[in-house]
C-alpha cells in the first residue's frame, strides 16, 4: 500500500496506525492482566502511532532512488524512538526480536538491535521491490524500453542489498557461533545457574513468606552435594534469578542467614535477585528497588545493581493521575523506582554486566556495562514478576 501511487502521506499514516493496532493489541494483553484493559489499550494505541509515523515518512521518500534502504532506515529510526518514549521507552515488539534463532541474528554483533531490524526490513523491502518490478515487466509484456533508452534493471539495487545483508550475516556468524567464555584466549569461567522455581503461578507467587528463597537455597545445597561428590564442577560463582529472595535480606535476618548458608555450602559467591526498600524513600508512600546483590561466603553482601529501567504498568504506574481513573486495577502496579549504577558488579574477581527482566531488551542498558568493563560476562536473570508493593 505504501508504494501505491494513490496512497497519500495522510493515508499512509492511517495504514501504519491500523497496522500498529493490529500488531500491538494482541501483543500486549499481559498489560491488561496486570492493571486492567484500559491501560493495555491506551499503550497499544500509543505504540501504534510509531508505525503510523513510519508510514507517513515512507510515502514521502518512496520516490527517492534506493527506496528499500530509506524504508529500512526509517523503520529502525521509529523503533529507536519508541525505545525512548513513551514511559521511558517501550521497545516491545521490535522486528529484531523475531530473529532469536534466525539467520540474520549475527548482525546484532555489528550494530545491535537497530542494525538487525534495519537488515530484516531491508531484505523484506528489497524482495518487495523485485516483485514489483517483475509485476511491472509482466504487465508490459517484457518491454522495458528501446536498447538506447532502457535503464539498468531496477532489480539490481534490491538484489545487491539482499546479498550484502546475507553476506554480513555469514561473515559474522562464525564469531557468534564460537564466541563465549574461553574464546580468543580469554580465561574460562565456570558459572552455576540455579532456578528454584515458585510455589504457585500468578502474581501472588511470593504470598507464602520465604518460600521462593527456600527453594533456591535447597537447590543450591543440592548442587553443593553434587560438587562434593564430583558429579558437577565447582563453580566460580552462582547465579540466582530475579526475585529469588522474595523477602529483603537486609531487613529480615533469617533471609540473610539462609543466603549465607547456601553461599558457604557451595563455597562460592551468589548473585542474588531481591527487592529492597529504596534509599531515602518518602515516608508517605513505599518505594522499592529491583536489586541484584553479590553475596559472598563468610562476608555476606558486596556489590549490587539496582534495576535502572523499570517496567511501566508492572513495576510502576506511569501517569497515575490518568490511569487510576481509567482502571480500577491500576493500583496493582508496583512502586518501584529506577536505580543508578554502572550495570557492572564484581563477583569472584569477574566483572559481570547485569541486566534484569525488561531492561535486558534496551540497548542502552547493555552499553554501559560494556563501556565500564572491557571483559563483561552478561547474566540477564529473569524469574516471576516483581510484585512487592
Catalytic residues: 242, 307, 357
Residue pointed to by grid coordinates 497499544: 44
3-state secondary structure the chain: CCCCCCCCHHHHHHHHHHHHHHHHHHHCHHHHHHHCHHHHHHHHHHHHHHHHHHHHHHHHHCCCCCHHHHHHHHHHHHHHHHCCCCCCCCCCCCHHHHHCCCCCCCHHHHHHHHHHHHHHHHHHHHHHHHHHHHHHHHHCCCCCCCCCCCCCCCCHHHHHHHHHHHHHHHHHHHHHHHCCCCHHHCCCCCEEECCCCCCCCCCCCCCCCCHHHHHHHHHHHHHHHHHHCCCCCCCCEEECCCCCECCCCCCCHHHHHHHHHHHHHHCCCEEEEEEEECCCCCCCCCCEEEEEEEEECCCEEEEEEECCCCCECCCECCCHHHHHHHCCCHHHCCCECCCCCCCEEEECCEEEECCECCHHHCHHHHHHHHHHCCCCEECCECCCCCCCC
Amino acid at each position: 500500500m505504501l508504494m501505491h501511487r494513490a496512497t497519500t502521506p495522510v493515508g499512509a499514516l492511517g495504514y501504519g496506525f491500523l497496522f500498529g493496532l493490529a500488531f500491538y493489541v494482541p501483543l500486549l494483553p499481559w498489560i491488561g492482566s496486570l492493571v486492567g484493559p484500559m491501560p493495555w489499550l491506551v499503550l497499544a494505541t500509543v505504540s501504534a502511532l510509531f508505525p503510523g509515523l513510519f508510514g507517513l515518512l515512507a510515502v514521502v521518500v518512496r520516490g527517492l532512488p534506493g527506496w528499500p534502504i530509506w524504508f529500512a532506515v526509517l523503520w529502525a529510526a521509529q523503533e529507536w524512538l519508541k525505545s525512548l518514549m513513551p514511559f521511558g521507552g517501550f521497545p516491545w515488539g521490535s522486528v529484531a526480536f523475531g530473529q532469536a534463532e534466525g539467520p540474520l541474528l549475527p548482525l546484532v554483533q555489528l550494530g545491535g538491535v537497530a542494525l538487525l531490524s534495519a537488515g530484516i526490513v531491508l531484505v523484506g523491502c528489497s524482495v518487495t521491490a523485485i516483485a514489483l518490478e517483475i509485476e511491472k515487466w509482466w504487465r508490459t509484456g517484457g518491454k522495458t524500453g528501446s536498447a538506447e533508452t532502457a535503464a539498468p534493471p531496477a532489480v539490481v539495487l534490491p538484489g545487491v542489498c539482499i546479498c550484502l545483508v546475507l553476506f554480513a550475516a555469514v561473515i559474522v556468524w562464525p564469531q557468534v557461533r564460537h564466541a563465549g567464555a574461553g574464546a580468543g584466549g580469554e580465561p574460562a569461567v565456570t558459572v552455576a545457574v540455579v532456578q528454584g522455581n515458585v510455589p504457585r503461578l500468578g502474581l501472588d507467587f511470593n504470598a507464602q513468606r520465604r518460600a521462593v528463597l527456600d527453594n533456591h537455597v535447597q537447590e543450591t545445597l543440592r548442587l553443593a552435594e553434587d560438587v562434593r561428590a564430583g558429579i558437577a564442577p565447582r563453580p566460580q560463582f552462582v547465579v540466582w534469578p530475579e526475585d529469588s529472595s522474595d523477602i529483603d535480606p537486609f531487613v529480615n535476618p533469617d533471609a540473610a542467614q539462609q543466603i549465607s548458608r547456601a553461599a558457604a555450602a557451595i563455597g562460592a559467591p551468589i548473585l542474588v535477585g531481591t527487592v529492597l526498600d529504596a534509599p531515602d524513600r518518602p515516608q508517605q508512600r513505599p518505594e522499592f528497588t529491583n536489586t541484584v546483590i553479590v553475596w559472598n561466603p563468610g562476608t555476606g553482601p558486596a556489590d549490587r545493581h539496582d534495576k535502572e529501567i523499570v517496567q511501566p504498568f508492572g513495576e510502576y504506574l506511569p501517569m497515575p493521575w490518568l490511569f487510576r481513573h481509567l482502571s480500577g486495577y491500576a493500583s496493582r502496579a508496583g512502586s518501584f523506582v529506577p536505580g543508578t549504577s554502572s550495570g557492572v558488579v564484581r563477583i569472584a574477581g569477574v566483572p559481570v554486566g547485569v541486566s534484569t527482566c525488561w531492561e535486558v531488551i534496551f540497548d542502552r542498558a547493555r552499553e554501559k556495562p560494556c563501556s565500564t568493563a572491557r571483559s563483561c560476562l552478561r547474566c540477564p536473570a529473569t524469574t516471576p514478576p516483581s510484585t512487592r508493593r
